[in-house]
Homo-oligomer: A and B are copies of this chain.
Amino acid sequence: MRGATAWSSPIDPMAAEFQVPVYFDYLATFSWALSGAIVALRKRCDIVGVFVLALLTSVGGSILRDGIFLQRTPPVLTDPVYLPLITLATLLIALLHQHIIHLQVVDKLVSTIDAIGTPAFAVVGMQLALDAGIPLPGVILVGAVSSVGGGVLRDVIVREIPFILQAGQFFALVVLLACIVFLVLTLALQVATVHAAWATIGLFFVVRTLTIRYNWQTRPLLRDEDH
């Protein structure tokens, strides 16, 4: 465990973002903002609703991670890039909405970028938790909240049962696997953090793509005949 002193002094955000390059975080944010905006279109929101859902989906995870769990000011406030980026995604969807709503290639593009963005958010979150001296089970929780938190907030606010609670395609278990792989690589095998991050992202991308391709499903613990 590193950085026990990080408890008392403010954590340097650069320390973690240096290891997973920051443009990566921006790319993931932009991608999730697009996917949130598309959900809002389908829910018949106006332009404000599209922005709010793009915002919640893309930075909701880091708001929960920092504002509630790690007790830091969320980067959406301190880094002036995020809000213009989310505004850009909102305007893009607003302008193109009639063209993209029927295009399957858009959904495919977004889900591909998300398959990279999800483990990227997890790795950044775990890094920050390790730097804060959190014990390992907590580090995994912070990684998971960082990567799926935005999607859960989006679902709650549009009144759907969060995808994470529903039986369906494997997703959260792949996030968990990715978190554990990252920790084994960095802490047990002493792999350099930046290599471990890329390996984690690659692994998640491959498993997630296979899951979508072959439609691997989880099932409810309690089936209807049980009750």
Contact = CB atoms under 8 A, between A and B. Distances in A.
A137 B84 contact: yes
A165 B67 contact: no
A45 B219 CA distance: 8
B167 A46 contact: yes
A166 interface: yes
Contacts of A167: 44-46, 49
13 contacts: A40-B165, A41-B222, A46-B168, A48-B165, A52-B172, A67-B68, A77-B134, A77-B142, A80-B138, A83-B137, A97-B226, A98-B222, A159-B160
Given A166-B45, A173-B48, A8 B10 contact: yes
Given A164-B49, A165-B49, A167-B45, A69 B77 contact: yes
A190 B71 CA distance: 34
- Consensus secondary structure, chain A interface: helix
Q: How large is the interface on A (under 10, 10 to 19, 20 to 34, 35 or more residues)?
A: 35 or more
Given A63-B68, A101-B226, 6 more contacts: A41-B221, A49-B166, A49-B167, A69-B77, A71-B71, A156-B157
Interface string A138-172: 10111000000000100011111110111110001
A24 interface: no
A29 B147 CA distance: 25
* Residue with the highest number of chain B CB atoms closer than 10 Å, among A40, A157, A165: A165
Nearest to A80: B135
Interface in A11-59: 40-50, 52-53
A218 interface: yes
Nearest to A50: B221
Contacts of A80: 135-138
Contact of A158 (B63, B101, B161, B221): B161
